[in-house]
């Protein structure tokens, strides 16, 4: 079977899976708990532009990570990460967006890095969150105000700090994915151009790793597509992971900080796979490529 034929069949099956389950998604933990996840569904919306796929209720005030009652963590405050992501996807009026950015700036720690929470009793920072917050500021032409957060993101990518699992993320690819969002958030910004070149180099280093992780494979394929980097190895690995129902499994993505309980989302993993395969198939058509799959 040719790679193109396999990709087309894969696309049909994953699209049917997404259509069957549209607006009924939950995140699930490795301890068997399920919950509504606003953060992940926002990313699904951004990747597809399809409101019919997700079940997002736009709040009157701030967004919360949980789309229903919080689980595992008990009381969970509105966090800067979810609100930054939401404000670049479901864009509020400019005045509200700028007011939120002003609030976020008040959450800087002593190093000038914006923290995950506005609650001073929860002093949490991580480069993945910083990448999303920087994306928010660059989207509204205020990137110069988060330069220390940006520099931390750049340093983490340059120094390969992602090889050491963090509090919330245990694979490098989610960080790459958020940096991808950042470099696409504004044009004619020299620092973003430098970050883009570095991202391309770091992703190339990871090609062929994590062959059993569909989310990581799909995120790398999306980034490789952006930079015209050939990546048949990850594509073949991803195609082999499709399950009987058309999905690509749960795809463990991040974890709760204190408990270290892992969280995955079948809808998000399937969405990433769909978009990655689709984009690579289009590239193959344009370039006249037609490989084979074992």
How high is the mean pLDDT in each 10-residue block of the chain (294 residues)?
Answer: 85 98 98 97 99 97 93 85 98 96 97 94 94 99 98 99 96 99 97 98 99 99 98 98 98 95 99 97 68 40
Query: Which domains does the chain show, CATH number per domain?
Result: 5-288 (1.50.10.20)
- Check if the beta carbon of residue 215 is closer than 8 Å to that of residue 272: yes
pLDDT at residue 289, rounded to an integer: 52
pLDDT given at position 282: 82
> What letter does residue 113 receive in the DSSP assignment?
P
- Name which of 71, 76, 84, 81 is nearest 27 in CA terms: 71
Beta strands 34-35 and 252-255: pairing type?
A: unpaired
- Helix, strand, or coil (residue 60): coil
Q: How far apart (Å, rounded) are the C-alpha atoms in residues 285 and 292?
A: 14
What residues are paired with 254 via a beta bridge?
263
The whole-number pLDDT of residue 74 equals 73
- Minimal CA–CA distance to 132: which of 196, 175, 190, 77? 175
Residues 148, 151: Cα–Cα separation, whole Å: 5
What is the total residue count of the chain? 294
265 close to 226: Cβ distance less than 8 angstroms:
no
pLDDT at res. 293 = 36
């Amino acid at each position: 079977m040719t790679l193109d034929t396999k990709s087309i069949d894969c696309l049909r099956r994953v699209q049917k899976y997404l259509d069957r389950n549209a607006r009924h998604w939950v995140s699930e933990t490795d301890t068997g708990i399920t919950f509504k996840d606003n953060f992940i569904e926002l990313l699904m919306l951004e990747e597809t532009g399809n409101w019919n796929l997700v079940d997002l209720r736009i709040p009157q005030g701030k967004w919360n990570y949980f789309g229903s009652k919080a689980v595992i963590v008990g009381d969970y405050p509105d966090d800067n990460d979810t609100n930054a992501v939401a404000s670049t996807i479901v864009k509020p009026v400019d005045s509200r967006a700028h007011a939120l950015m002003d609030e976020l700036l008040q959450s800087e720690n002593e190093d000038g890095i914006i923290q995950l929470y506005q609650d001073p009793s929860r002093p949490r920072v991580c480069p993945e969150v910083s990448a999303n917050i920087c994306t928010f500021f660059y989207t509204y032409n205020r990137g110069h105000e988060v330069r220390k957060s940006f520099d931390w993101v750049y340093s983490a990518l340059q120094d390969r700090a992602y090889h050491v699992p963090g509090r919330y993320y245990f694979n490098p690819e989610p960080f790459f994915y958020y940096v991808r969002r950042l470099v696409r958030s504004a044009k004619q910004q020299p620092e973003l151009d430098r970050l883009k070149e570095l991202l391309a180099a770091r992703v190339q280093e990871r090609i062929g790793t994590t062959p059993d992780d569909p989310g990581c494979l799909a995120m790398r394929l999306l980034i490789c597509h952006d930079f015209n980097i050939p990546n048949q190895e990850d594509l073949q690995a991803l195609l082999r992971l499709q399950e009987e129902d058309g999905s690509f499994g749960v795809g463990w993505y991040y974890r709760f900080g204190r408990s270290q309980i892992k969280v995955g989302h079948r809808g998000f993993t399937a969405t990433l796979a769909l978009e990655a395969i689709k984009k690579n198939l289009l590239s193959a058509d344009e370039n006249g490529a037609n490989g084979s799959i074992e």
